[in-house]
Amino acid sequence: MPIEVGLWKLGESLTPVSVSTMESESQLEELLARDIDVVDPDFLLIGRQVLTDYGKLIDLLALDSEGRVVVIELKKGRTPREVVAQLLDYGSWARDLEEDVLEEIFSTFQAKYYPDHPTRTLEAAFLQHFGCEELPEPLNESHKLVLVAGSLDTSSERIITYLAEEHGVSINAVFFRVFRDEDREYLSRAWLADPGQVEAKIEAKREKIPWNGDFYVSFGADQNRDWDEAVKYGFVSAGGGDWYSRTLRMLEPGARIFVNIPGEGYVGVGIVADSVVPIDEFEVEDENGEMRPITSMSLNASNHSTLKTNPEKAEYFVRVDWQKTVPLENAFREKGFFGNQNSAAKPRARRWRTTVDRLQERFGVVKVD
């Protein structure tokens, strides 16, 4: 059965709050266009009434934080078969959108709906919205389809669930209700299925590419991390919170890593020498050949948090025997190279294998099993 949401006012007794759908689908579209976070805070709106090559108009077009295109279509009184077929048709068009076309769509969207706002590039809007340092490469490696409705019928539910679970289509539905309590109004949102669970099921359906054994590492070179020092002392590091540092734990001795600096490109390949340790326990060789805590060295990147000063934000280090490194200004970067926001990852994407093949050529290294 479709998901239903109820609301009751607390008092001496429970009083149900009256519920209705939006007065019009156009009103709902206007609301979502003003604040797409109402649908999902992981969406960045990039287009409205987007004209496809087939002469049809997509209600709303967005990107998520992974750079996937999201097609959002309102039901607008159509039958389940009609609106789902329309969504699938839009998906067949959206899957081939290249970065330059997405940039053009975003530029048109800004000019039409926000002419008085400062003009931004798609990249600038993406980085600001998601708080990241670079665009995923490539954009639109996959896409999502979202049906928006004032109410959801059983037929729509069956069709959407079937497409997602049996055929691995990234499709979901979200519906909105308005609750009225005297002169106050409240908007509720409910998904047909939890978006995270939908993605997990879809990934399970899609063909898995075996991991090739190489790790991806993102090295955030800033006031806290200096690439020249990472090369000199043999390490990669991450910190500022457990979300950033925890993935370093998967780097075990003997593993090969390729290091990318967000916004710059790939700068090194090496072999992990030791497991991850907090900065307080990491030692390096000084000019006299003696081992000393790195915290006692004079470093350019000296603004590290330690376990003593801030355990939650502490920097963590992994020792690396470098096979090949290049200065920051010579970083390797090509369109289509794999990128990821995690400090370390075990990529299974097809473009990771392509990236590794190209990097092995550029660095002049060959993997020895």
In tens, the pLDDT along 302-320 reads 677 788 888 888 999 999 9
Question: By percentage, how much of the chain surpasses pLDDT 70?
Answer: 93
Please tell me the predicted confidence (pLDDT) of residue 309.
84
Please tell me the predicted confidence (pLDDT) of residue 20.
66
- What b/e readout covers 314-335, taking b as 16+ CB neighbours within 10 angstroms? bbbbbbbebeebbeeeebbeee
> For the ranges 188-197, 239-248, 312-321, 351-360, which has the lowest average pLDDT?
188-197
Q: What is the pLDDT confidence band of residue 349, given thresholds at 50, 70 and 90?
A: confident
Mean pLDDT value across residues 5-11? 80
Position of tokens 């502490």? 314
Strands 57-64 and 43-51: antiparallel
At residue 2, does pLDDT exceed 60?
no
At residue 208, does pLDDT exceed 70?
no
DSSP structure string for 239-292:
-SSHHHHGGGGG--TT-EEEEEETTTEEEEEEEE-S--EEGGG-EEE-TTS-EE
Mean pLDDT value across residues 118-140? 86
- Report whether 283 contacts 273 (CB < 8 A): no
User: Quick one: CA dihedral 141, 82, 110, 41, positive or negative?
Assistant: negative
Mean pLDDT value across residues 99-120? 91
Question: By percentage, how much of the chain surpasses pLDDT 90?
Answer: 43
- Report whether 304 contacts 315 (CB < 8 A): yes
3-class DSSP state of 312: coil
Burial class (CB within 10 angstroms; exposed 0-12, middle 13-18, buried 19+) of 143: buried
From the CA atom positions of the chain, what is the Rg in Å?
A: 25
Q: What is the pLDDT confidence band of residue 122, given thresholds at 50, 70 and 90?
A: very high
At residue 278, does pLDDT exceed 90?
yes
How far apart (Å, rounded) are the C-alpha atoms in residues 93 and 88? Answer: 9
What residues contact residue 20 under an 8 Å CB cut-off, 6+ apart?
A: 177, 178, 180
- Report whether 155 contacts 162 (CB < 8 A): no
Please tell me the predicted confidence (pLDDT) of residue 323.
96
- Report whether 35 contacts 176 (CB < 8 A): no
Position of tokens 């299974």? 348
In the DSSP assignment, the letter for residue 225 is: B
Mean pLDDT value across residues 269-296? 92
How far apart (Å, rounded) are the C-alpha atoms in residues 106 and 114? Answer: 11
Q: What is the pLDDT confidence band of residue 23, given thresholds at 50, 70 and 90?
A: low
How far apart (Å, rounded) are the C-alpha atoms in residues 357 and 366? Answer: 9
> What does the pLDDT look like over 212-231, one tens digit per residue?
999 999 998 676 789 999 99
Domain boundaries defined on the chain: 8-205, 214-363
For the domain covering 214-363, report its CATH number: 3.10.590
> What does the pLDDT look like over 150-168, one tens digit per residue?
777 788 888 888 888 888 8
Position of tokens 């055929």? 167
- Report whether 313 contacts 239 (CB < 8 A): yes
How far apart (Å, rounded) are the C-alpha atoms in residues 302 and 294? Answer: 10
* More confident: 33 or 210: 33
**pTM, 2 dp:** 0.59
Pick one of 1.20.1300.10, 3.40.1350.10, 1.10.510.10, 3.40.50.300 as the CATH number of 8-205.
Answer: 3.40.1350.10
